Chains A and B, each alone.
Chain A
Amino acid sequence: MSHQQDIARLLQGHSFIELSARERAHSLLDAGSSRELAGPFDRQYSPWLGAQGIVAQADDGVVICKGLLDGQPAVIAAIEGGFQGGSLGEVGGAKLVSALELAATDNRQGIPTRAVILFETGGVRLQEANLGLAAIAEIHAAIVDLARYQPVIGIIAGTVGCFGGMSIAAGLCSYLIVTREARLGLNGPQVIEQEAGVAEYDSRNRPFIWSLTGGEQRRVCGLADALLDDDSVLIRQQLLDFIARGLPEQPRHRRSQHMLQRLLAMDSTSQADAASARQFFQSGAKP
């Protein structure tokens, strides 16, 4: 995006990425309908960060807002990427799990509550390691449960992206919206380089990283459902469109036999690049 376009957009005030997690959540819900739950003034601080001499945040980096989307009940869980890299700890994780579970309970009682997750996260907060991991497993469980009733929609706007166990959560969503500033991958570039070596994954080669895990590539590969400009209005409209569409015919994660056969048949000796990934997914787009 050019510098002029950047400035023009900022002047229009439509950027979604520049908003905080709380502002993002409020901006998506119908005007005046948003109510934050377990918010900062409830002071649910992480019990583990302070014990390690790390300054905590009053909402533990997860914002839960209940309200309406196009007049229908909805809950938005927004992760604040600025706080501890958007990592999930015990409290933030429990907020997300609880919100999704309450939405599912609503549905079982005839209230069609939808859920939207705004991912800006590196995954587990290592300072709360096993409680973060446990919460992420519970998030997975809650998404799978809720997605039986209503579409669960994930948005990765950027600039943190979505990694670790939360990338799996993104893979469980009924629909996934990304921007060009989004990245989606299981392992962070530095960790892959440490584990596998720089020849396998050069974490400082930004064009390479983006070509494999950037929002545009993920959309072309069918690992996301919409690629949008960084524009709050467009993102909200797409969100409403996906909600109106209802449950997808076949969620991405339901194609196990097809994907397994394709992987078993492929030549895995040659190294991957953006083009080989596009070819892999596009030639097998329909089972």
Chain B
Amino acid sequence: MSQPSISQRGRDWFNALCGQSPLQQGLPPSLLVTDAELAGQPARYIAVVADPHNPFERARHGEVGLLEGWALAAAIDAAVEADRLQPGKRAIVAIIDVPSQAYGRREEAYGIHQALAAAAAAYAGARLAGHPVIGLIVGKAMSGAFLAHGYQANRLLALDDAGVMVHAMGKQAAARITLRTVEELEKLAASIPPMAYDIASYASLGLLWRLLKTAQPDQPTAADLQLVRDALAAALLDIQADPQRDLHQRLHGEHRLATRKVRTLLQAQWAEIGG
């Protein structure tokens, strides 16, 4: 059994970026949602945070659980619906600091996979509907939690910091499942970039649009905040200048050679057969 420590980063960055903007009502306390500006344009900011009183006890450390999955979907769907007839679609900024999905009996029984699917579908749907979706990773972005909250973004940005981590499974659990010791896992990770836990290795996969070096990721300074605001604004412009709404921008990484090769091959064979 593991007891994750509670991270404040998601909440702190949400507050820093959104200031006094009022929170959306009707959502569980584990979801912070507000409409504020990004580079003078409307934007909806969303963070999943720890709620020590979460009615689902397996989701009290900031995990993405049943409530969080469906609530993310509801918050995003509402923005898409509100902008349906607007020519300009508000940006959606996911502030990401999620230690994991929720692991529990209630979660499986009541279909947590469907809750997370709803969140992923809402983000992807918003992106396809023309909303610029930006993921800002300020802490952990783990596995199913990240798939539900942020991985569908047009552009992913991350703080360049040891406390920032993207992975499919925590070190201890991954070692157990792959029948290795943590030391063996770390040794392997040093030569296998997709297995590594540091954000620089992750960046080498080409999945990040930009890595941001802040002075104090835990307590952002005014300069840190400006750096992140500028980067979010640049991401917004980059998305708006991009005619494509898919995730093609992620395919160019140094360590995604096999992805590009197999895509080219399959595309050629598909065309050869014809419709």
Chain A interface (Cβ within 8 Å of chain B)? 35, 37-38, 42, 44, 46-48, 51-52, 64, 66, 73, 90-91, 93-95, 97-99, 101-102, 106, 111, 113, 123-124, 126-138, 140-141, 144-145, 148, 164-165, 167-172, 184-187, 190-192, 194-197, 200-201, 212-213, 221, 223, 251-257, 259-260, 263-264, 268-269, 271-274, 276-277, 280-281
**A136 vs B256: C-alpha distance when bound (angstroms):** 14
Bound together, the chains give a CA A60 to CA B112 distance in angstroms of: 28
Interface string of B134-148 (1 = CB under 8 A from A): 000000000110111
A42 contacts across to B, CB distance below 8 A = 265
Known A-B contacts A144-B124, A274-B109; A132 and B194 likewise in contact (beta carbons under 8 Å): yes
Chain A residues within an 8 Å CB radius of B237: none
Number of A-B contacts (CB under 8 A): 275
Question: How far, in whole Å, are A137 and B195 apart by their CA atoms in the complex?
Answer: 17
Do B74 and A137 touch (CB < 8 A)?
no
**Is B258 part of the binding interface, using a Cβ–Cβ cutoff of 8 Å?**
yes
CB-CB under 8 A for A140 and B267, given A186-B108, A264-B67: no
Answer whether A130 and B167 are a contact pair too, CB < 8 Å, given A145-B124, A195-B1.
yes
Q: List 28 A-B contacts (CB under 8 A).
A: A37-B266, A64-B266, A90-B256, A95-B266, A102-B270, A130-B168, A131-B259, A134-B151, A135-B259, A137-B151, A138-B250, A140-B121, A145-B128, A168-B147, A171-B111, A185-B112, A187-B107, A191-B103, A195-B2, A201-B108, A212-B109, A252-B118, A253-B122, A255-B118, A264-B67, A269-B55, A272-B105, A277-B109
Partner-contacting stretch, out of B86-94, B171-179, B219-227: B171-179
**For B71, what are the chain A residues with a Cβ–Cβ distance below 8 Å?**
256, 260
What is the interface of chain A mostly: helix, strand, loop, or mixed?
helix
Residues of B within 8 A of A99 (CB): 266, 270
Q: Verify B262–A44 contact, CB threshold 8 A.
A: yes
Q: How far is the CA of A169 from the CA of B205 in the complex (A)?
A: 22
Assuming the A-B contacts A129-B174, A131-B259, are A260 and B74 also in contact, with contact meaning beta carbons closer than 8 angstroms in the complex? yes
For window 226-275 of B, CB contacts with A under 8 Å fall at 246-247, 250, 255-259, 261-263, 265-267, 269-270, 273, 275
User: How many chain-B residues does the 8 Å CB contact rule pick out?
Assistant: 84
- With known contacts A90-B194, A168-B148, A257-B74, A201–B124 Cβ distance under 8 A: no
How far apart are B126's CB and chain A's nearest CB, in angstroms?
A: 10
Contact (Cβ within 8 A) B178 A126: yes
- A172 & B121 in contact (Cβ 8 Å cutoff): yes
Residue pair B257, A47 in contact (C-beta under 8 Å): yes
B192 within 8 A of A: yes
Complex contact A168–B116 (CB within 8 A)? yes
In order of increasing CB-CB distance, the 3 nearest A-B pairs are A171-B117, A256-B73, A272-B109
Q: Are A256 and B143 in contact (CB under 8 A)?
A: no
Distance A51 CA – B269 CA, assembled complex (angstroms): 28
Instruction: Report the nearest B residue to A271, measured CB to CB.
Output: B105
Query: Which of these, B74, B107, B269, contacts A38 with CB under 8 Å?
Result: B269
Chain A residues in 8 Å Cβ range of B169: 124, 126, 129
Interchain CB contact under 8 A, B205 and A144: no
Residues of A within 8 A of B191 (CB): 51
B178 touches A127 (CB 8 A): yes
A281→B67 CA distance, assembly (Å): 15
How many angstroms from the CA of A214 to the CA of B70 in the assembled complex?
22
Contact with A along B69-82 (1 / 0, CB 8 A): 01101100100000
B58 at the A interface (CB under 8 A): yes
Residues of A within 8 A of B38 (CB): none
- Asked whether A46 and B258 contact (CB < 8 A) given A35-B273, A136-B147, A144-B121, the answer is yes
Q: B residues within 8 A CB of A131?
A: 194, 205, 255-256, 259
B177 in contact with A196 (CB, 8 Å): no
Instruction: Kindly state whether residue B114 has any CB partner on chain A within 8 Å.
Output: yes
A170 to chain B, nearest CB (A): 7
- State whether A90 and B259 are in contact (beta carbons under 8 Å apart), knowing that A165-B144, A268-B106 are contacts in the complex: yes
Closest residue of chain A to B1, judged by CB?
Answer: A197
Within the complex, the shortest CB–CB distance from B181 to chain A, in Å, comes to 14
CB of B13 closer than 8 Å to a CB of A: no
Q: Does B104 contact A (CB under 8 A)?
A: yes
